[in-house]
Amino acid sequence: MEVKEFREMTPQELDDKIYELKQELFELRRKKAVGQLEHGEQMHYLRKDLARAETVKRERALGAK
């Protein structure tokens, strides 16, 4: 996802998306640990999306002050 897509979300949608991304990352880490992960680049892209979402959340928190 792009940053502008995260910025268009409501705060509740953004929190839900962050939770979803963390769950997906957990599952990929688990698969990697047991040797079932076929495409390791998925973790890379997922971490980037999570960072983008967290950045937008932090921008909103700082902008609210």
In this predicted structure, what is the pLDDT of residue 14? Answer: 97
Residue-level pLDDT, tens digit, the chain, 65 residues: 899 999 999 999 999 999 999 999 999 999 999 999 888 899 999 999 999 999 999 999 999 65
In this predicted structure, what is the pLDDT of residue 65? Answer: 57
Q: How many CB atoms lie within 10 A of CB 17?
A: 19
In this predicted structure, what is the pLDDT of residue 40? Answer: 86
Which domains are assigned to the chain? 3-63 (1.10.287.310)
In this predicted structure, what is the pLDDT of residue 48? Answer: 97
Determine contact, residues 25/43, Cβ cutoff 8 Å. Answer: yes
Which pTM does this prediction carry? 0.89
